[in-house]
Structure 1
Amino acid sequence: MMVQNQVEPAATTARSSLKERQRQERADLILQMAEAVLSEKGYHDTTIDEIAARVGIAKGTVYLHFPSKIDLVVALFDRDANSFLEFAQQVAQTGDSARVKLEHILRHTYEGMRGKRTQLFMALLSSTSVRNELIEKRGGMGEQVTSLARVIEAILEAGKAAGQLDATIPTPVLLRTFLGLLSPRSFEPLIGGEQVSPEELVRYVGRIYFQGILSPTSQS
């Protein structure tokens, strides 16, 4: 009897784990189809019915995962932001110099601007109503952006402490300037219009940014 009692909780846990995995896989598939439909039709012409049809599930099942269309969009933004934050955290833990770390983050950003996802996000944010709904749902720019700012701030502070960056420039100024370099609105037209490659943009932007903030000893 004792052995049976020990086995039953384990079996229950396994079933729960399987259900959760299936639920996550279904949510991921819904997001994948939602991204495709949004890219094709835009936010206002996208319907939950079509997303459900493409996934092959009932509309009600979509609502079990995402209560509204804007919740789907929020989930897409959060997924992308979490992925970017994870990348930045990994870069921050390397033994590279502050400049190399920041260049990695720039490169990752600019290479992503070639993709359809960036085009989708820019189209969504160009709509005032969608942008306002996103801000209301996410509570501003989202905790991922705050976390990303902390990661970059730590890189900048470490660069100052190592004598790699100009310690006379306040870190908040360095941080806000760098975050501005990550904006798709600023640089996507250059990459999308094939005026420069992502690698070239990293080099040019890096020259503008780093030559202004490197410590005198780092520049010599």
Structure 2
Amino acid sequence: MSSSSQVHRSLKEKQRQEREALILKVAEDVFLERGYHDTSMDEIASRVGIAKGTVYLHFPGKDDLVIAIFERDMQEILRQMDVSLDCQSSPQSKLEALLHFMYAGLFSKRTQLLSSIYHSADMQRLFAEKGSCLRVLWDRVAQRVAQLLDEGKERGDFDPTLPTSIMTSTFLSLLSPKSYERLLADGHFVPDDIVTHTGKIFFRGIQA
């Protein structure tokens, strides 16, 4: 293959990725405004400024768009974990950074969409049927959390008698959108408060 052909293919692939990212961003905006059931592929295509058929080339339907949005978010969680591994000094500070990213970042932007999903039987069925990629990514998050907890045990920061699997499960339960929504609903807390208090309860409980 000639170098000019390779450049052309690389450019086309870059354009495809940029268009796909734009479709996801617009789709997320429409989902947040209208909810899943009232969102149409026609409106998404219109806002992006492309033909509906072009949207279908990237995403066969609304279900695939929703899954892709959350797959993108899971990838971002993993990326943020990598960043925190480089920037933070201790296992606890790394886990605290993840809590902050989830509560003050991801959840605060996705509250309405997450709420509609967790209160819709159709959406729960969708994630059960098509969400295998998300489960794989979530397992990777769980593995990294477990590694950090084991590192904290080795440093003498965390209680070595506590099983890592239970510590991991407890920490991951803090990242539940349902819990986040309930805590925000009473109006007494902002996301940063939730990070501070939930983190304090968890880390005091596992201290060596």
Code of the aligned partner of 1:74: I
Match of residue 4 from structure 1: none
The answer to whether the Cα contact below 8 Å between 2:145 and 2:168 also exists between their aligned partners in 1 is: yes
Unaligned residue ranges in structure 2 (runs of 5+): none
TM-score for both structures, normalised by structure 2: 0.92
Unaligned residue ranges in structure 1 (runs of 5+): 1-7, 216-220
Worse-matched range after superposition: 22-31 or 136-145: 136-145
**Does residue 1:149 correspond to 2:142, yes or no?**
yes
Spell out the pairing of 1:7-46 with structure 2 (5 A cutoff). Answer: 9-46=2-39
SS in 1 for 2:156: coil
Match of residue 163 from structure 1: 156
Worse-matched range after superposition: 165-174 or 101-110: 101-110
**Does residue 1:114 correspond to 2:104, yes or no?**
no
SS in 1 for 2:2: helix
- Give the share of equivalent positions with the same residue, in percent: 43
* Whole-Å separation in 1 of the counterparts to 2:185 and 2:14: 37
Q: Residue 55 of structure 1 is aligned with which of 43, 48, 51?
A: 48
Q: RMSD value over aligned CA atoms?
A: 1.7
Per-residue CA shift, 1:51-99, capped at 9, x if unaligned? 1111111111111000111001111010111101110122234452222
| Structure 1 residue 31 displacement after superposition | 1.0
The answer to whether the Cα contact below 8 Å between 1:52 and 1:62 also exists between their aligned partners in 2 is: yes
The structure with the largest alpha-carbon Rg is 1
**Which ranges of 4 or more aligned residues in structure 1 deviate by more than 6 Å?**
none
Q: Residue 165 of structure 2 is aligned with which of 163, 172, 188?
A: 172
Distance 1:204 1:37, change over 3 A: same
Per-residue CA shift, 1:169-214, capped at 9, x if unaligned? 0000000000001112112333365412333222211221111111
* Whole-Å separation in 2 of the counterparts to 1:132 and 1:89: 31
* Whole-Å separation in 1 of the counterparts to 2:149 and 2:203: 11
* Whole-Å separation in 1 of the counterparts to 2:31 and 2:194: 29
| Structure 1 residue 140 displacement after superposition | 7.5
Distance 1:108 1:132, change over 3 A: same
SS in 2 for 1:209: helix
Match of residue 204 from structure 2: 211
Match of residue 181 from structure 1: 174
| Structure 1 residue 133 displacement after superposition | 1.1
